[in-house]
Structure 1
């Protein structure tokens, strides 16, 4: 990721907090990060939960275009 971070996204699940950093140069970077994190066995974040989070973020991303 480049050094020009412009967004911080926090996801809280069952008391566990996840923090994702992304930038406006690559608006889909946050989605890739969510999928990578959900693919880790010890992350506690499932693919289904990652998809739900992304589904909630898409309207915001579309409005910002």
Structure 2
């Protein structure tokens, strides 16, 4: 059983920049791209959170893609 390293992950990620990958217990796992359903859920969540935070002046709400 081969155990891959961070360097292996970095090399593979550089070769395939359109894919999200993780290194879990020595295995590289290719993550699914977000579909419109998950984007919609995230947007709804952010909207609800913003509607709670803004009137109370509790901080800022933003998204990292």
TM score, norm. by length of structure 1: 0.27
Q: Which has the larger helix fraction?
A: 2
Mark the structure with the bigger radius of gyration: 2
TM score, norm. by length of structure 2: 0.27
